[in-house]
Amino acid sequence: MTKYEVIIFWSKEDDAFIAQIPELKGCVAHGNTPDEALKEVYIMAEEWLVLAKENGWQIPEPKGRLLYA
């Protein structure tokens, strides 16, 4: 599990629940239920962080709850 904020929403277009971690660019997953989407995005986040370390990408510090205008 990560300390980054996760946003989960229903996507009619994808016919699935989408989970994303806005602070980790492109870290998105989907599932048939919100729990499944959450589980999948945690897996993606771990893979994202491994790739970031291997490629020397900047890894953002978790900010907790983000505010959107």
Query: In this model, does residue 9 exceed pLDDT 80?
Result: yes
Q: Where are the beta strands (DSSP E) in the chain?
A: 7-11, 16-20, 28-31
Query: In this model, does residue 27 exceed pLDDT 90?
Result: yes
Length of the chain: 69
For residues 15-37, average pLDDT: 97
- Which residues are within 8 A (CB) of 7 and not within 5 positions of it... i.e. 6 or more apart? 19, 20, 21, 22
Mean predicted lDDT score pLDDT of the chain: 92
Contact 15, 30 (CB under 8 A): no
pLDDT of residue 15: 97
Name which residue leads in pLDDT, 67 or 19: 19
Query: In this model, does residue 69 exceed pLDDT 60?
Result: no
pLDDT of residue 1: 59
